[in-house]
A and B are shown apart, each in its own frame.
Chain A
């Protein structure tokens, strides 16, 4: 699904690489936590997968494609198979819940019939059935994040990338979001989630990848947030 082969990333005008010599593989259907302090390279790691940035060295395959060889005009096609969720939700404030989710399908040219069918379905899945016509401002943080997850999942991506999805939520709401991500993972979707939330990582007992100053320092099958000795 995702394979890093000795990947390094140096941003222009910076001497210190954001990622150095990272090699790892994430299989289809896995649930992976990406941990590390701020500036450890988590964001770069995800931006490389989304092809927002290009690798400086090494090879990166996503969904079987070598991203360095993927031409620019094919990038959108690749991104349609990825879903993305952020800490700040990134909803459109002037659109309703249903419209926000539908937007992700409209802009890739899905038919109206298809949208009418899949939007209520995915809203039910994230537990927002009946709130289709609410505006994002009227929802709680947890509900807004559910909308964002619905939007990321409505096109049935093979990989869901979540960048600190619980960063703005209280612990109880976070648990709800994690249950939702777990349910999405059980449908066969690979989930890669960057987080600082120690409790969540410790509870879920999933694979943990830790970055430190751009290096891969830990890759543990059923890991916890901190080091275990």
Chain B
């Protein structure tokens, strides 16, 4: 009896406020789609950063056998253990500039590469001995990249000195900016959604004040009186969450796989997979259910005497 009663009350309530319900659904859908989109964007940035991006500032790549044939800088052949010792020794002497040095072997480099690019065609054609050994350096002051570059660039056994941030920084900055814009827009939409819910609940409580008044007098519990209102908001929110999930799935499908087909145009970038999208969906659905329910609960404390 209870469940049936509550369900019928929800149906009546949602239909009575059809326009309001629609507004709630749309605003929840938009805000959560933006929320999910920004989560996916930061996933994308992280997957592009690779293993070393946030850990080091400068990488010294050492010559390997294939470099010795192809790269004029490595004309003297692959790096020797003496050269490595010398480089490491010099790095350790520069303790005012260098905070930490990590050595990455070719095998480790291969492993990290595999982690980042997974099963892309580029990665599967690669073997460990094609990878370069490297020194990964964390600087005391990230701006002092030039000090390392002048000291080691052109040295025997060194293929290149790379400022880790320089390569992708501009792109990441752009992505971060977009991300922040998405978050700001999401916050705005979220506020709109919450205000709409509060207003819907207020209208709903007002139009049902006769029922709730009687319920109160005959001793219905607070939960029983409030449940239809809260469930109403939760159902509307959940529909919005479903729409947001739909947006995300369709969004990934048309930007990465088909439509814009970025995965074919930019095949050097490791794009996020479906797993990244699918793991976001439960979070979005849960948010879409709980957030409006909570908003309704607090609105009821103000507009519905129990």
Chain A residues proximal to chain B, CB less than 8 Å: 50, 72-73, 76-84, 90, 92, 103-104, 106-112, 115, 151-152, 155
Contacts and interface: CB of A to CB of B under 8 A. Distances in A.
A109 B219 CA distance: 10
Contacts of A73: 221-222
A80 B213 contact: no
A108 B1 contact: no
Interface string B109-130: 0000000000000000000000
B210 A151 contact: no
Contacts of B222: 72-73, 76
A31 to B, nearest CB: 21
A151 B218 contact: yes
A103 B219 contact: no
A107 B224 contact: yes
B210 A92 contact: yes
Contacts of A152: 218
B217 interface: yes
23 contacts: A73-B222, A76-B216, A76-B220, A77-B219, A78-B219, A79-B218, A80-B219, A81-B219, A83-B218, A84-B217, A92-B210, A103-B211, A103-B214, A103-B218, A104-B214, A106-B1, A107-B214, A107-B215, A107-B218, A108-B224, A109-B2, A109-B224, A151-B214
B2 A104 contact: no
B219 A92 contact: no
A90 to B, nearest CB: 6
Question: Which size class do B's interface residues fall under?
Answer: 10 to 19
Contacts of A90: 210, 213-214
Contacts of B224: 107-109
A82 B218 CA distance: 7
A73 B224 CA distance: 12
Contacts of B274: none
Task: Classify the interface of chain B: helix, strand, loop or mixed.
Answer: helix
Contacts of B217: 50, 79, 84
A36 to B, nearest CB: 23
Interface string B1-42: 110010000000000000000000000000000000000000
A106 B219 contact: no
Interface in B174-233: 210-211, 213-222, 224-225
A115 B213 CA distance: 21
Contacts of B225: 107
A162 to B, nearest CB: 12
B205 to A, nearest CB: 16
The 10 lowest CB-CB distance pairs between A and B, nearest first, are A80-B219, A79-B219, A107-B220, A104-B218, A76-B219, A107-B215, A76-B221, A84-B217, A112-B1, A106-B5
A81 B218 CA distance: 8
Contacts of A72: 222, 306
Contacts of B220: 76, 107-108
Contacts of A78: 219
A56 to B, nearest CB: 19
Interface string B270-299: 000000000000000000000000000000
A131 B216 CA distance: 26
Contact of B218 (A80, A92, A111): A80
Contacts of A106: 1, 5
Given A90-B210, A103-B218, A107-B224, 9 more contacts: A76-B219, A79-B217, A79-B219, A82-B219, A92-B210, A92-B214, A108-B220, A151-B214, A155-B218
Contacts of A83: 218
Q: Interface centre among A92, A103, A151, by most B CB within 10 Å?
A: A103
Contacts of B215: 107
Nearest to B213: A90
Contacts of B211: 92, 103
